[in-house]
C-alpha cells in the first residue's frame, strides 16, 4: 500500500474532522477566488468602457480624470461648461456658417475654419450637455450623430442597435425637439416604455423637475458600456428647458437704447400739449439708434427658419446662449491626436484628455493599491485556513500515537511516518482548494446575468482572473508549513512507551 493510500485512509477514518477542516479551507479559498474574480471583472469593465469609439474628450480646465469620469462613465459632476464657440473650433467653415445661419451669432464665426478642424477632418466632434437626471441616471443632451457615428463593442466596430424604436432625430413634427433614447438599464429600472414621456430633474436626482418632458422614441440594446446607464435627449430640447440658457451680459449701449425707447413710449402716451418742436422725439438721435436695434432683433429672429420652430413656437437659443459640457473627439488620423491635445491644453479655456490613459492612471493610483489590499486579505485568509489544518492534524496525534508506534514496530521509518502526515495535509489543501474554486465560480455563474447587466462583462464558469492560478501553490505551501509541527511530533513518537500504553 502506498503512502498516499495510507494518508487517504487516515483522512477517511477521521471523516467528520477531515470534512470540517476541508470545508473551512474551501470557504476561505472560495472567498479569495471570488474577490480576485471581482477585481478582474472591474478591471476589464473599466478598460473596455474607456474604448468607446473616440480617442479624446475635451472639456473645461480642471481634472482630466474628473472630465473622463463625467463624460465617459457619467459618474462625476461636470467641472464647468464651455462656450458653444469652443465646440465650433472643431468644425470646418461650411458647418460653422450653417450654425451661424441657423441659430444667429457673430457673422465672423462663419468666415474661417475652426482652429482644430484640420485635426478632426475625417473624424467627428460630438457635443455633450449634462446636468439633469432621470431618476438616478444621467440625462445627456447630444446630437443624432452620437448614434450614427459612434461605435462600441470589444473591437469598437459595432453600431448602436435598438430593442425598440429608433435613434432620436434632429427635429420631428410629432415631438419637436423633445425626443429621447434610453439605455437598456435605464429603461428596465425606470420601468418605462416606448412613447412614454419623462421629465428630467435639474442638477440632482432629487432636484426640481422640468415642466417640459421628452418622448421616448428608442430603447437601446445592451452595449456593455456606460451608455446603458444614460438617457439621451435632443441637444436642442435640452437647451430649451428652463435654466439651461447661458445668461448673456448686456452691452451698456443697449441699456441706453432701451432707456431711450422706454422714454419715447412714455412721451407718446402723454396728452399732445407740447408743440412739435418741443417734442423730445423730434430729430432725436436715440430714435434712429432704437430703430437700428429693432432691425438687429428682427434680423436675429430671421436667422431661425420656420422649419426650426416647434409646435410650441420654441425659439432656438442663439450661439452666445449655448454651452457644452464636453466634446467627444475622433481624429481622422489618429497620429494627429497628440498634437491637437497639446494645442488644446496650451490654451486658457479647455483641456483634452485621453480616456484610456486616464483610466490606466486610475487603475494604477486607486485600483492598484486595492489589489494589494485584496492580495493581503488573500494571504491572511489562506493563513487562517492553514492554521485550521495544523490544529486538525495535531489534535489527532494523541489518538494516533499507538498506530504510529505499531507502524514503527513493523519496520516503518521515521521519514515514512512523517511523509504520511505531510500527505494528509496536502490532501486537505488540494481538496479544499478545488472545492473552493468550484464554489466561487458556481456563484459567479449564478450571478453572471447581473454582472453583465451592471458592467457589460460576460463571465462564464471558466472565466478566471490572472491571479487565481497562484491560489493553489500558496495554499499548498501553507499546508506544508502547517504539517511540519504534527509531522515532527510523529517523527519523535516513542515506540516503546506507546506500545505498552
Using only the alpha carbons of the chain, give its radius of gyration: 36
User: Where in the chain are the domains?
Assistant: 3-47+361-500, 56-245+318-353
Strands 137-142 and 230-234: parallel
Top pLDDT among 387 and 458 is at 387
Q: What is the pLDDT of residue 142?
A: 96
Top pLDDT among 225 and 241 is at 241
pLDDT at 31 over 80: yes
Q: What is the pLDDT of residue 263?
A: 59
pLDDT at 86 over 90: yes
Of the CA atoms within 13 Å of residue 13, those in its CB half-sphere come to 12
pLDDT at 356 over 70: yes
pLDDT at 251 over 60: no
pLDDT band at residue 101 using 50, 70 and 90 as cut-offs: very high
Spatial neighbors of 438 by CB under 8 A, at least 6 apart, are none
Cα dihedral: 138, 142, 148, 150 (round 10): -60
Q: What is the pLDDT of residue 475?
A: 83
pLDDT at 372 over 70: yes
pLDDT at 388 over 90: no
Percentage, residues of the chain above pLDDT 90: 34
- Calculate mean pLDDT across residues 376-387: 80
- Calculate mean pLDDT across residues 26-32: 86
pLDDT at 91 over 80: yes
Q: What is the pLDDT of residue 455?
A: 63
Euclidean distance between CA atoms 366 and 40, whole angstroms: 14
Euclidean distance between CA atoms 448 and 461, whole angstroms: 9
- Calculate mean pLDDT across residues 322-330: 95
Euclidean distance between CA atoms 137 and 133, whole angstroms: 6
Alpha helices in 50-197 (DSSP H): 64-71, 84-88, 93-103, 117-120, 145-149, 184-190
- Calculate mean pLDDT across residues 368-395: 79
Task: List for the chain the helix, strand, coil content (%; round to 5).
Answer: 55, 15, 30
pLDDT at 310 over 80: no
Top mean-pLDDT range of 47-61, 69-83, 470-484: 69-83
Q: What is the pLDDT of residue 497?
A: 61
Neighbours of 342 (CB within 10 A): 10
Give me 314's grid cell: 420654441
Spatial neighbors of 484 by CB under 8 A, at least 6 apart, are none
Top pLDDT among 245 and 263 is at 245
pLDDT at 312 over 80: no
pLDDT band at residue 378 using 50, 70 and 90 as cut-offs: confident
Beta strands in 221-270 (DSSP E): 230-234
Euclidean distance between CA atoms 224 and 160, whole angstroms: 11
- What is the number of helices (H) and of strands (E) in the chain? 18, 13
pLDDT at 291 over 60: no
pLDDT tens track for 260-289: 545 555 555 554 444 443 433 334 443 443
* DSSP 8-state class, residue 34: H
Percentage, residues of the chain above pLDDT 70: 79
Top pLDDT among 212 and 302 is at 212
pLDDT band at residue 453 using 50, 70 and 90 as cut-offs: low
pLDDT tens track for 491-500: 676 666 656 6
Top pLDDT among 271 and 18 is at 18
pLDDT tens track for 170-213: 999 999 999 999 999 899 999 999 999 999 998 777 767 788 89
Residue with cell 468666415: 111
Q: Which of 395, 399, 402 is nearest to 497 (CA)?
A: 402
Give me 100's grid cell: 451661424
pLDDT tens track for 399-414: 676 667 777 676 677 7
pLDDT at 87 over 90: yes
Output the DSSP codes for 350-377: EEEE-HHHHHHHHIIIIIHHHHHHHHHH
Q: What is the pLDDT of residue 341?
A: 93
Q: What is the pLDDT of residue 89?
A: 95
pTM value?
Answer: 0.69
pLDDT band at residue 393 using 50, 70 and 90 as cut-offs: confident
Amino acid at each position: 500500500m502506498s503512502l498516499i493510500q495510507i494518508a487517504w485512509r487516515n483522512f477517511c477514518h477521521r471523516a467528520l474532522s477531515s470534512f470540517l477542516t476541508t470545508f473551512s479551507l474551501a470557504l476561505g479559498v472560495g472567498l479569495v477566488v471570488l474577490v480576485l474574480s471581482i477585481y478582474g471583472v472591474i478591471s476589464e469593465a473599466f478598460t473596455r468602457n474607456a474604448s468607446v469609439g473616440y480617442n479624446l474628450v475635451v472639456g473645461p480646465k480642471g481634472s482630466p480624470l474628473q472630465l473622463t469620469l463625467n463624460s465617459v462613465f457619467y459618474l462625476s459632476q461636470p467641472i464647468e461648461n464651455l462656450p458653444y464657440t469652443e465646440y465650433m473650433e472643431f468644425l470646418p467653415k461650411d458647418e460653422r456658417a450653417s450654425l451661424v445661419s441657423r441659430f444667429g451669432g457673430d457673422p465672423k464665426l462663419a468666415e474661417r475654419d475652426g482652429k482644430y478642424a484640420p485635426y478632426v477632418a475625417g473624424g467627428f466632434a460630438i457635443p455633450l450637455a449634462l446636468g439633469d437626471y432621470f431618476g438616478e441616471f444621467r440625462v445627456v443632451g447630444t446630437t443624432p450623430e452620437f448614434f450614427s457615428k459612434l461605435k462600441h463593442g470589444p473591437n469598437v466596430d459595432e453600431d448602436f442597435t435598438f430593442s425598440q424604436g429608433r435613434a432620436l432625430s434632429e427635429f420631428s413634427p410629432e415631438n419637436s425637439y423633445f425626443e429621447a433614447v434610453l439605455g437598456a438599464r435605464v429603461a428596465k429600472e425606470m420601468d418605462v416604455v416606448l412613447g412614454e414621456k419623462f421629465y428630467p430633474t435639474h442638477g440632482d436626482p432629487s432636484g426640481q423637475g422640468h415642466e417640459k418632458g421628452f418622448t421616448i422614441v428608442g430603447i437601446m440594446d445592451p452595449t456593455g458600456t456606460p451608455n446603458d446607464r444614460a438617457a439621451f435627449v435632443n441637444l436642442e430640447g435640452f437647451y430649451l428647458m428652463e435654466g439651461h440658457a447661458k445668461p448673456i451680459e448686456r452691452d451698456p449701449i443697449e441699456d441706453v437704447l432701451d432707456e431711450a425707447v422706454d422714454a419715447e413710449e412714455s412721451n407718446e402716451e402723454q396728452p399732445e400739449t407740447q408743440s412739435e418742436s418741443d417734442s423730445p422725439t423730434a430729430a432725436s438721435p436715440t430714435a434712429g439708434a432704437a430703430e437700428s436695434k429693432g432691425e438687429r432683433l428682427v434680423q436675429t429672429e430671421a436667422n431661425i427658419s420656420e422649419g426650426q420652430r416647434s409646435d410650441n413656437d420654441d425659439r432656438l437659443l442663439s450661439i452666445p446662449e449655448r454651452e457644452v459640457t464636453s466634446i467627444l473627439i475622433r481624429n481622422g488620423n489618429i497620429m494627429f491626436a497628440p498634437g491637437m491635445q497639446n494645442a488644446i491644453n496650451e490654451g486658457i479655456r479647455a483641456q483634452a484628455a485621453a480616456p484610456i490613459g486616464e483610466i490606466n492612471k486610475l487603475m494604477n493610483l486607486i485600483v492598484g493599491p486595492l489589489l494589494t489590499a485584496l492580495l493581503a486579505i488573500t494571504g491572511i485568509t489562506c493563513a487562517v485556513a492553514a492554521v485550521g489544518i495544523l490544529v486538525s492534524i495535531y489534535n489527532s496525534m494523541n489518538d494516533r500515537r499507538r498506530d504510529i508506534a505499531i507502524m514503527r514496530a513493523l519496520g516503518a521509518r521515521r521519514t515514512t511516518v512523517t511523509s504520511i502526515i505531510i500527505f494528509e495535509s496536502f490532501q486537505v489543501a488540494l481538496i479544499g482548494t478545488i472545492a473552493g474554486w468550484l464554489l466561487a465560480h458556481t456563484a459567479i455563474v449564478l450571478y453572471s446575468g447581473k454582472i453583465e447587466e451592471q458592467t457589460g462583462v460576460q463571465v462564464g464558469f471558466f472565466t478566471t482572473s490572472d491571479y487565481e492560478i497562484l491560489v493553489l501553490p500558496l495554499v499548498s505551501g501553507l499546508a506544508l508549513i502547517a504539517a511540519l509541527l504534527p509531522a515532527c511530533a510523529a517523527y519523535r513518537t516513542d515506540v516503546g512507551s506507546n506500545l505498552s500504553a
